[in-house]
Structure 1
Amino acid sequence: MATLQPIAAGAAELNLLTWEGYADKSYVAPFEAASGCKVNATYVGSNDDFAPKLAAGGGVYDVITPSIDTIGLMRQAGFVAPLDTARLTGFDGVYPQFADGADVRTDGAVWAAPLVWGSISLMYRTDKVSGTPDSIGILFDPAYKGRISLWDDKSAIYWTARYLGYENIYDLTDEQLAAVEAKLIEQKPLVRKYWATAGELTELYANQEVWVSNTWTGLQSKEINGLGKGFTVTEFSPKEKSEGWMDSMQLVKDSPNEDCAYKFMSYMLSAEGQCGIIRTTGYFPTVPGAVAGCLSDAEKVERKVNDVAFVDTLRMWQMPARLDKYLEVWNAVKAAP
């Protein structure tokens, strides 16, 4: 990066549509100072937010960071442009499993720059849940009626499908989807609230409203346990497997701030960006070489550095074969009394 200088008057802007923690000032401020690009961030709570916001916002955004099950949809919908990897410093250091993955590289072009990855696990208050739970069944246990929270996202279908024993969770039949819908509606009286953002779930625990939930592994548990509320939460991967995800940076089609967009994406693949975002979120880096100097040996093990085989232990997200049907089911669940 260039020597840090104050942002000049009239500096270029970069508008992000992204997740909490992905534009933290601890690492964005140095980028702004070095690049002259002022970063503005709008946050999403679900991958289902990207398409409607882009459709409504026109040219408002320059870079988006959808997950692995959504980057293909962004391309198919015409919201994003292919990346010029010659302008993308650091892309050659991304794990090949991600850089060459479906929807990242397709139709002879690169459509996304992998940013971070991780899993979605289950979390509970150790003082309220007896024993050592090991199953998704904890989300459906009447013993915790009114104390359960589930992410407000179509992935609720994936969790429920695995709990019901279905293997083809991204291509469920009509009959299987009907069973999933019925199970989620049956669960509704147990749910205190569907959480939409990391901060909202943290507040639900902090206010003693929730004891059990799914969670973005590494992020919310750290926040909750750091509040000093007199209790602790712990995470676990269920026997039905945790879900896996990978978030990528995509260039919005016809972005007026393309130069800043490429500077930002390159920065986020550098040591400064990768170390910054994983320090803030607790997630795993996509550029293992970039974090060699900022993590201890124990942290490298924890963040799966050079252990991308961990992916094989997860149910990695895919875009459902019938996305519209999945969204229809999830919306029907939320609308049910």
Structure 2
Amino acid sequence: MIAATAASASASAAELSLLTWEGYADASFIKDFETESSCKVSATYVGSNDDFAPKLAAGGGVYDIIVPSIDTIGLMRLAGFVDPVDPAKVPALKETYERFNTATDVTFEGTQWSVPLVWGSISLMYRTDKVSPAPDSIAVMFDPKYKGKIAFWDDKSTLYWAARYLGITNIYDMTDEELEKVKAKLIEQKPLVRKYWATAGELTDLYANQEVWVSNTWTGLQSGMIRALNKGFDVTEFLPKEKGEGWMDSMMLVKGSANTDCAYKFINYMLSPKGQCGIIGVTGYFPVSPKAVEGCLDEAAKKANHVNDLGFIDGLVMWQMPARLDKYLETWNAVKAAQ
């Protein structure tokens, strides 16, 4: 376990510093928050949930809100990086899906530690003009036919994809033997991989520059970014028969922040129609507050964004913090370091 304490210094009270994901602080919806709240927002983006702990442990006191995924919020609490959230200061919390709001580590022993923001899935994506026949399995990521045209996310969750491909079901609590099998398979696959991508923009560029034909992807985001470039080809996403992954990102208060007034204003704004519609419009992800998006999504969009369709989660493997996080990180780093 990472043992560290967050720095107590922070930016001035009229500023709000976020450690978050691409698209989560887009000017298209943040500008209204800044005008209405008089709180100036600055954002630093992560490419993986594995980035949160090192950035917070490094100190500097520059963050007020972090937005980790559901498999990482428990680690943030255990490491002492965050303070509890006061539900009384977040009236819109009661409008979020109860399934998320009562999830493990979102609340712990009766205390609220995070506020749901957005959810979605991790699927596979491919160029329709280059990959044939249409794949239905993770096997496409290990197919020698696409050597040099494959990209995996630079994240420990790559272990989960390889594990499911190998038929391992207990992907968050693998034995040493199972982790060795996963490591061996990924090292064997490594010559097929063009790049372990780190950000949405990087993966988009890999497709745009004709370097990659197949990858995993943050469902809805990168496919939209690629199509917007009008490069003369199309991409499509699919959930493999071995299942895709599911996630939920939530907002947490950095320990000792002096900007809690702006932080609570921001949290409430992001659960409001402007915040939920804004982030969904930019990312293509799914809202946590169905009531908030009533006015901005038509029936087709509601279906595409799984509004009031939490049964979709049952077809996903929802992220959890691995039982032996350090061992998983060690295994993933060993794959990346392998020649």
Among all aligned residue pairs of Structure 1 and Structure 2, give the percentage whose two residues are the same amino acid. 71
What is the 5 A alignment of 1:113-152?
Answer: 113-152=115-154
Conserved? CA contact 2:82–2:252, under 8 Å = yes
Using the TM superposition, give the Cα deviation of residue 60 of structure 1 relative to its aligned residue in structure 2, in angstroms.
Answer: 1.1
From 55, 61, 65, give the equivalent of 2:67.
65
For residues 144-202 of structure 1, the C-alpha deviation after alignment (integer angstroms, 9 at most, x for no partner) is 00000000000000000000001100000000000000000001100001000000000
Match runs of 1:114-263 below 5 Å: 114-263=116-265
Give 1:58 deviation, angstroms: 4.1
Q: How many residues align?
A: 328
2:59 partner SS: helix
The answer (yes or no) to whether the contact 2:65–2:251 under 8 Å persists in 1 is yes
Q: Does 1:274 align with 2:276?
A: yes
Cα deviation, 1:124-149, whole Å, max 9, x if unaligned, reads 00010111100001111000000000
Instruction: Show CA shifts across 1:91-144 (max 9, x none).
Output: 000100000110001122000000000000000000101111000011110000
1:48: Cα distance to partner? 0.1
Contact 1:27–1:272 (Cα < 8 Å) also in 2: yes
What secondary structure sits across from 2:256 in the alignment? coil
* Distance in 1 of aligned mates of 2:310 and 2:290: 10
Alignment partner, residue 94 of structure 1: 96
1:312 is aligned to 2:322: no
**1:11–1:109 Cα change, 3 Å:** closer
For 1:88 and 1:205, the matched residues in 2 are separated by: 40
- Residue number in structure 2 paired with 1:43: 45
Match of 1:302 in 2: 304
C-alpha deviation, 1:57, in angstroms: 2.6
Moved over 3 A (4+): none
TM-score, normalized by length of structure 2? 0.96
**Aligned residue identity for 1:57:** G
- Give the aligned residue type for 1:114: P
Q: How many Å separate the matches in 2 of 1:108 and 1:60?
A: 29
Give 1:252 deviation, angstroms: 0.5
**Alpha-carbon distance in 2 for matches of 1:197, 1:85:** 32
CA shift, 1:309, in A, is: 1.4
Cα distance, 1:72 vs structure 2: 0.4
RMSD: 0.8
Conserved in 1, the CA contact under 8 Å of 2:122 and 2:245? yes
Contact 2:13 2:258 (C-alpha < 8 Å) held by counterparts: no
Structure 2: distance between partners of 1:74 and 1:126: 40
Aligned-residue offset at 1:304: 0.5
Q: 1:72 corresponds to which letter in structure 2?
A: G
SS at match of 1:244: strand
Secondary structure of 1:59's counterpart equals coil
SS, match of residue 60 in structure 1? coil
Tell me the alpha carbon deviations over residues 281-304 of structure 1, each in whole angstroms, 9 at most, x when there is no partner.
000000111000000000001101
Contact 1:154 1:326 in 2 (8 A): yes
User: What is the match of residue 34 of structure 2?
Assistant: 32
Quote the residue 1:4 is aligned against: none
Query: Judging changes above 3 Å, is the alpha-carbon distance between structure 1 residues 73 and 11 closer, same or farther for their aligned structure 2 residues?
Result: closer
When the two structures are superposed, what TM-score results if normalisation uses the length of structure 1? 0.96
Is the 1:120–1:217 contact (alpha carbons within 8 Å) kept by the matching residues of 2?
yes
- Report the Cα distance in structure 2 between the residues aligned to 1:304 and 1:224, rounded to whole angstroms: 22
Q: Distance in 1 between matches of 2:281 and 2:232?
A: 25
Whichever residue aligns with residue 279 of structure 1, its letter is: G
Paired with 1:11 and 1:300, the residues of 2 have a C-alpha distance of: 37
**Contiguous gaps of at least 5 residues in structure 2:** 1-11
Q: Choose the corresponding residue for 1:107, options 90, 106, 109.
A: 109
Rounded to whole Å, the distance in 2 between the matches of 1:183 and 1:274 is 40
Amino acid at match of 2:164: R
- Identify the residue that residue 286 of structure 1 maps to in structure 2: 288
Q: 1:89–1:269: 8 Å Cα contact kept in structure 2?
A: no
Contact 2:13 2:259 in 1 (8 A): no
Q: Residue deviations 1:48-101, cap 9 Å, x none?
A: 000000011342100000000000000000101110011113100010000011
